Amino acid sequence: MNQDTIDRIRRFTEDRDWDQFHSPENLAKSIVIESAELLECFQWNGKDYDLDHVKEELADVIVYTQNLLDKLELDPDEIVNMKMEQNEKKYPVEKAKGNAAKYDQL
Amino acid sequence: MNQDTIDRIRRFTEDRDWDQFHSPENLAKSIVIESAELLECFQWNGKDYDLDHVKEELADVIVYTQNLLDKLELDPDEIVNMKMEQNEKKYPVEKAKGNAAKYDQL
Amino acid sequence: MNQDTIDRIRRFTEDRDWDQFHSPENLAKSIVIESAELLECFQWNGKDYDLDHVKEELADVIVYTQNLLDKLELDPDEIVNMKMEQNEKKYPVEKAKGNAAKYDQL
Amino acid sequence: MNQDTIDRIRRFTEDRDWDQFHSPENLAKSIVIESAELLECFQWNGKDYDLDHVKEELADVIVYTQNLLDKLELDPDEIVNMKMEQNEKKYPVEKAKGNAAKYDQL
């Protein structure tokens, strides 16, 4: 996301004095709650989803994810690169190619 | 995230030929699954969490979120700004300040 | 479940002195965490699931559900019948038959 | 639950011809979705929850759990006792007493 969008998310919380509710635990709960609402778009049918609804719920997941990054003062590039390094080792191309098995079953 | 990180996420999927598993539905399931693993860091205690573990699980949520954005060809700035506009209306500052109630109970 | 199974679940908690961790909130988190593990059995493929794994994860959901019923001193027959009465009204047979739409879209 | 309640749940599905939507995968999604709604009762505050709302969401979890047991023709007593046997071994009383650590950290 660009800086303007991130600033808008931060200002929203600040203006409402909601930082007090944003414990890491509450934000983790919120991310699950919103991602389950995203999943609900695909509850009975994985194909005919309402794209506008998907966009809204996915946006909610992204907003709470940003809130948690902010709360813990984490840099998304840093943590994602750290995790991608692990993933690249756990799923070597020659074993994982075209295979959805979990790493411990490759 | 910066473009390098996003490219790394995309290359990871491409190199393993995993796009075939990345239906929007499967990615929505994956986001819930990873956010529940994030929540597990706070399962019995909201205070004494293992920050390194939190970073890993949060990174997984971000990676699958990026995968879903890619799959649906969505721009995070566009969908988040659209949602923030809704949120700003649903939670007017004068009513929502310091209040964690849901919008329909404000 | 029969009374013996319920008693076994209760004794397990009691013997370990775990009631102190079983706040309604922590149990609600636990039910989500276990149901996401259940969903993981179907993450990339809805058809070829490992039935033994499904049984284990489903059992975990049932155990935490029983823990929450116990903690809140709720009778499952009472709350389920109350909810089924609502559901039967929200989804009248003539409208809902063969239709997976949500009640507000019937 | 007693047999009357279980029969009511089954009749509800049958009368609406909804068995066609009840794949194990869809029911697993549904259990997560409902347990996230249950968690929402505790989103910002673990203490001041609306008990009537908790009852409704917990009932939804129980109903979909019963649907999945039915779909897979599983006996809850059998799978729960199997899992409790595992749990009793993974969490021996002398190590786990008063300790919420995960079994691999006991």
| ipTM of predicted assembly, 2 dp | 0.96
Give the largest Cα separation in chain D, rounded. Answer: 51
What pLDDT does A104 receive? Answer: 86
Instruction: For tokens 């595992």, name the residue.
Output: D86
Is the pLDDT reported for residue D75 higher than 90?
Answer: yes
Structure tokens at B21: 């598993």
Q: Is B23 close to A39, i.e. CB distance below 8 A?
A: no
Rounded Cα distance between C38 and C61, Å, is 8
Q: Is C12 close to D87, i.e. CB distance below 8 A?
A: yes
Is the pLDDT reported for residue A85 higher than 90?
Answer: yes
Number of residue pairs across C and D with CB atoms under 8 Å? 185
Share of chain D above pLDDT 90, in %: 93
What pLDDT does B104 receive? Answer: 85
What pLDDT does D105 receive? Answer: 85
Closest chain B residue to A35 measured between Cα atoms?
B32
Is the pLDDT reported for residue A81 higher than 90?
Answer: yes
What pLDDT does C101 receive? Answer: 87
Chains that contact B by 3+ CB pairs under 8 Å? A, C, D
Please spell the DSSP secondary structure of B5-68, one letter per residue: HHHHHHHHHHHTT-GGG--HHHHHHHHHHHHHHHHHTTSS-SSS--HHHHHHHHHHHHHHHHHH
Is the pLDDT reported for residue B105 higher than 90?
Answer: no
What pLDDT does A106 receive? Answer: 82
Is the pLDDT reported for residue A36 higher than 90?
Answer: yes
What pLDDT does C106 receive? Answer: 82
Is the pLDDT reported for residue A102 higher than 90?
Answer: no
C23 CB-contact burial (10 Å; exposed 0-12 / middle 13-18 / buried 19+): middle
Per-residue pLDDT tens digits for B34-71:
999 999 999 999 999 999 999 999 999 999 999 999 99
Please spell the DSSP secondary structure of B61-105, one letter per residue: HHHHHHHHHHHTT--HHHHHHHHHHHHHHHS-HHHHTT----GGG
Q: What is the mean pLDDT of each run of 10 residues along chain C (106 residues)?
A: 97 97 98 98 95 98 98 98 97 93 85
Is the pLDDT reported for residue D106 higher than 90?
Answer: no
For residue D6, give how far its alpha carbon lies from the nearest alpha carbon of chain A (Å): 22
CB atoms within 10 A of CB C1: 18
Contacts of D5 (CB under 8 A, 6+ apart): C76, C77, C80, C81, C84
Mark which residues 59-88 of A lie under 8 Å from B by CB: 59-63, 65, 68-69, 72, 74, 76-77, 79-84, 86-88
What pLDDT does B91 receive? Answer: 96
What pLDDT does D31 receive? Answer: 98
Closest chain B residue to D43 measured between Cα atoms?
B100
Contacts of B32 in chain D (CB under 8 A): 32, 36
Q: Coil, helix or strand for C17?
A: coil
Share of chain D above pLDDT 70, in %: 100
